[in-house]
Structure 1
């Protein structure tokens, strides 16, 4: 297979179709988040194939990935178009996410080894230090998601699948979360992180779960508020690129 054929089938030689689809999806995701692709814009398979040098199966897979993330709506016999996410949908997603993250924190508190708890406390300390030093909001979000990811690793397989699904669906809104954190500086959700930090060595599952839920409730309110303000603006607000997941 030559290079041209490899591109049509899913990327350069040695690159699998799944990785090629992920790459196309990531490129489109960044454009959607930057408002280069506005809500309602159609994403045609033929155009994606020509632009990215991939086959139709790769283009379809990339669009399915974006559909699972809630970034596009796929209509039978018509194609895919960029979704117009509402503040109400975001509010509901964060409500579910708060419940699942609270569950993850509870199980982590009960099931982690003493060594793992010590490592997580160190990670939280680094997050709090970074916030106090004025680190970029995107860095704080990356650190917090890594901690919650470690917590989720102690939940059941079913709970882990649900957490992974809701994280995919809210990935689009990380740019709004970054704006919320940047606006609050040293305030925001950090008292809730301190609550989790204090609960871990005591293995106080109820307090750890409450802290995790309250972090998400804070983000829920702030993201919804920013989206509502965006809706009232005459010009679209530029979104910053979200962390890749």
Structure 2
């Protein structure tokens, strides 16, 4: 099913394919709502959300959401889900959010240290994924979350705005306008790969395209964020 959202300078069109699955084993939990079983959004789901092909233009993009992989069996007769709605976060400068899973832990405040996993994509590059914490591994091969202090000003404003109203354990997709994205090349998170970092910044800060009036679209970011934990310092 294709779900659409109006496109304008303050809103975006998002045709979105949503497929729900019936899990074949107990390792993939489901929740029941209205007499129907729905899968719980897991880290695997977050991976599928961000690695799916995305077609992005200046005013519109399409990202398929697939709640299934090779280890699960999808029911062809799955009922259509309610249309997901992005909403603008209060006092965020225009950041729009869609909650994919509501957490049950604490919400952060200024001075708290938070750990997040994320997939970052760039709208001006057709949804190109420029960075992912799941690519950052420790010596045992476990993915390393990105850790920062809320209110420190070291990360882009759109990510801070997104996590402030999340609860630990939650997963949220956010659309970050250029004004709340990268304002300089020292703001975090920064792709560790030199070529990814160069491609990201040469797109956002392209002087020719900025002079042509494309500044309102060059820096649009799409982040899928999982708030792993909140530490009160």
Same fold (TM over 0.5): no
Structure with higher helix content = 1
**Higher relative contact order at CA 8 Å, sep ≥6: structure 1 or structure 2?**
1
TM-score when normalising by structure 2: 0.26
**Structure having the higher Rg:** 1
